[in-house]
């Protein structure tokens, strides 16, 4: 079914790209001030970079709302893009709207999207999970979550047959075929009573494990966290570990784990000031990486290709760590802050949107060499805001004003 878009689809001249502009988000100013101090690097962008920007295929006006819009998704030759209170399926080649699915109980969708061969799954943080048919957008099922005390960001996980949702004090499992939900586990009382957030980035391994990094408040008021390794079939807790505080420049930073990635025999767990590799079987610390002060501190969320862990920092630096040893394979100095930005690994490239400057960086995943950096054409007076979707030879990202689709 084809429908008319709300705004005009623009097919710009090929090759348009621009130097990054100053961001419009005031909350980044403090982080950018940190970057004013000259610092060293292992790889610095410069004249030897291969900076060929990809082709801007089309762009489409979007409702201006959240400073951090949801992340789009790519599947079946289409981009699935949150547009206010609805999800739109857009043709990757033309930008034509193929269907719209209304999210009637929200004025602005503020969640995450997952896709498979049959459906697109929309998770409104802490409130509900629903499935829409991939071919025509019809609602397949809607599963609400009750008595949830927080709507902080959490990323749902898909194991093929089920979707795992981490809430404030529990983990829910939703069957993809019909939306039937069950509680996998509730966190121990000492953690759940003081917990402030669910696991931002949990991780499923290739067998039956679930790594769950949890932030909570202990009785003395300090902010701490625990890392749980669960059996994702039974909910049994296999081990629990904590991350020690980090002292940097005379200041002690409490470590609250916010991300976990699967690394074969280890889980790589990320906090603001350290990354720890835990042995999956025993929970023993295999390696412990503390980034240098001040250039690599604090660090942002992480992603993995199964061999390396990739993450950014508040001071312009991107890292790749060997997941088996914790050794830094490369670090590349760019510009701006990546403290809230998640990388995407596709093929031989790492893609990440620099939230501070509103531009996308593309790097070789093995060497860290910068292959491209680009933002919206300057005449659009826009900045990239969302995390990016990369697949099927296209890159899709949301800005303040528009949705942008690039051919890679």
Q: What residues have CB less than 8 Å from 240, skipping those under 6 apart?
A: 188, 226, 227, 228, 229, 283
DSSP readout, 121-133?
EEEETTTEEEEEE
Burial 154-177 (b: 16+ CB within 10 A, else e): bbbbeeeebbbbbbbbbbbbbebe
Beta-strand runs (E) in 250-391:
251-253, 259-263, 266-270, 275-279, 285-289, 299-304, 308-313, 317-322, 328-333, 344-346, 349-354, 359-364, 370-374, 389-391
pLDDT value for 395: 97
Residue with tokens 């942002």: 300
Length of the chain: 408
Q: Could you give the CA distance from residue 263 to residue 330 in angstroms, rounded to a whole number?
A: 17
Q: Could you give the CA distance from residue 209 to residue 119 in angstroms, rounded to a whole number?
A: 25
Peptide bond into 135 cis (omega under 30): no
Q: What are phi and psi of 37, to 5 degrees?
A: -80, 130
From the centroid of its chain, how far is CA 58? 24
pLDDT value for 270: 87
pLDDT value for 390: 96
> Nearest-CA neighbor of 198 among 142, 143, 261, 149?
149
Mean pLDDT by 10 residues, the chain (408 residues): 50 42 36 39 43 87 75 96 94 97 86 95 91 97 78 84 89 96 81 57 91 73 76 94 80 81 92 88 93 70 90 82 94 76 91 84 94 89 90 94 94
Q: What residues have CB less than 8 Å from 162, skipping those under 6 apart?
A: 173, 174, 175, 176
Joined tokens for residue 135: 């071919």
Q: What residues have CB less than 8 Å from 83, skipping those under 6 apart?
A: 6, 62, 63, 100, 403
Q: Could you give the CA distance from residue 4 to residue 92 in angstroms, rounded to a whole number?
A: 15
Enumerate the β-bridge partners of residue 172: 165, 183
- Element of type H or E holding 29: helix 29-34
**DSSP 8-state code for residue 42:** S
Do β-strands 119-124 and 128-133 pair in parallel, antiparallel, or remain unpaired? antiparallel
pLDDT value for 272: 74
Q: Is the distance from CB of 49 to CB of 97 less than 8 angstroms?
A: no
Q: Could you give the CA distance from residue 407 to residue 330 in angstroms, rounded to a whole number?
A: 27
């Amino acid at each position: 079914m084809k429908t008319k878009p709300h705004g005009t689809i623009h097919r710009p001249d090929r090759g348009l790209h621009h130097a990054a502009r100053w961001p419009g988000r005031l909350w980044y100013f403090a982080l950018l001030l940190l970057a004013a101090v000259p610092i060293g690097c292992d790889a610095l962008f410069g004249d030897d970079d291969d900076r060929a920007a990809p082709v801007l295929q089309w762009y489409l006006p979007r409702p201006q709302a959240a400073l951090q819009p949801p992340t789009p998704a790519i599947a079946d030759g289409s981009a699935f893009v949150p547009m206010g209170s609805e999800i739109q399926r857009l043709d990757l080649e033309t930008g034509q709207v193929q269907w719209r699915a209304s999210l009637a109980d929200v004025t602005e969708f503020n969640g995450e999207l997952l896709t498979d061969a049959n459906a697109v799954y929309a998770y409104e943080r802490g409130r509900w999970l629903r499935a829409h048919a991939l071919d025509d957008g019809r609602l397949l099922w809607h599963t609400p979550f009750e008595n949830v005390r927080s709507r902080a960001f959490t990323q749902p996980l898909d194991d093929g047959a089920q979707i795992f949702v981490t809430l404030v004090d529990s983990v829910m499992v939703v069957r993809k075929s019909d939306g039937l939900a069950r509680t996998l586990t509730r966190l121990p009382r000492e953690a759940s009573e003081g917990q402030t957030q669910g696991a931002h980035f949990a991780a499923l391994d290739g067998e039956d494990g679930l790594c769950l990094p949890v932030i909570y408040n202990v009785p003395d008021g300090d902010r701490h966290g625990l890392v749980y390794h669960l059996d994702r079939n039974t909910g049994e807790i296999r081990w629990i570990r904590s991350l020690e505080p980090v002292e940097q420049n005379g200041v002690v930073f409490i470590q609250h784990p916010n991300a976990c990635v699967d690394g074969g025999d280890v889980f790589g767990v990320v906090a603001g000031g350290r990354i720890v590799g835990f042995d999956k079987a025993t929970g023993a610390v295999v390696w412990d990486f503390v980034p240098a002060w001040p250039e690599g501190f604090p660090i942002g969320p992480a992603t993995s290709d199964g061999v390396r862990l990739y993450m950014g920092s508040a001071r312009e630096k991107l890292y790749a760590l060997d997941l088996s040893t914790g050794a830094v394979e490369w670090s590349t100095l760019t510009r701006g802050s990546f403290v809230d930005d998640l990388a995407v690994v596709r093929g031989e490239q790492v893609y990440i949107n620099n939230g501070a400057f509103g531009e996308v960086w593309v790097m070789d995943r093995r060497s860290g060499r910068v292959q491209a950096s680009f933002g919206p054409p300057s005449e659009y007076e826009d900045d990239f805001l969302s995390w990016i979707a990369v697949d099927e030879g296209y890159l899709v990202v949301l800005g303040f004003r528009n949705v942008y689709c690039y051919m890679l």
